Amino acid sequence: MNVHMRTVALTLALACLAATAGCSQATSTPPDTDAIAVAIENEIRAGKDMSDVEVKCANAQPTHSPASIECVVRSDGAEEQVVARMIDGNTEWDWSSNTTLAASLLNMIKVKEDVRTALESQLGTTGLTVNCPRSVSKAAGVTFQCTVMDTDGTNKTIVIRQQDDQGTVVWTLEQ
């Protein structure tokens, strides 16, 4: 085989490898909506001391990024919607924007993601995990704490303060 033929063969092999890698990402396994529903149920029961909770989530499609999954929470005859996502293997959820609870609570998925992204950029690192309380009321002056864990398992505390009743927050990393 001459040099030209080897170059063509290598180019084709690399193209096939790249195409296969791209296809494998596009056909990732959809999130397990039953497991997501159970995780949400367990967290609501623990936080609200409720036993009469049922969560049903719509089936999700394979995706490149964390897909939003719509779920319905039924408790005491009432229904509320939640939005769930799988992020780094963990179920993250918050009350949907079209529920009565969402109007009075911070979107904690957004708060955690904003803090994580900004802190990773500030520290020049990746793989941080941010844990915050589930339900925090929207109200100017409300302060709460979140824990940030790095890939080595070291925890730091973030203090978050709401600037207004619209969900605008500022945060500081405690040293």
Q: What is the CA radius of gyration of the chain?
A: 21
Lowest mean pLDDT: which of 51-55, 86-90, 123-127?
86-90
Residue 110: is its pLDDT beyond 90? Answer: no
19 part of a folded domain: no
110 part of a folded domain: yes
The residue ranking higher by pLDDT, 66 or 27, is: 66
Is 7 in a helix, a strand, or coil?
helix
Mean pLDDT of 68-83: 82
Q: Are residues 92 and 144 in the same domain?
A: no
Q: Which among 43, 70, 103 is the end of a domain?
A: 103
Give the residue numbers spanning the domain of 121: 104-175
Mean pLDDT of 16-24: 37
Mean pLDDT of 18-25: 38
Beta strands in 45-168 (DSSP E): 53-57, 69-75, 78-87, 90-95, 129-131, 143-149, 155-162
Q: Which among 103, 118, 150 is the end of a domain?
A: 103
pLDDT band for position 127 (cuts 50, 70, 90): very high
Q: How many domains does the chain have?
A: 2
Q: Which two three-digit tokens encode residue 168?
A: 């605008």
pLDDT for the residue numbered 26: 41
Pairwise CA distance, residues 73 & 53, whole Å: 7
The pTM assigned to this predicted structure is 0.56
Pairwise CA distance, residues 43 & 127, whole Å: 24
147 part of a folded domain: yes
Mean pLDDT of 144-164: 94
Find how far residue 55's CA is from the centre of its chain.
18
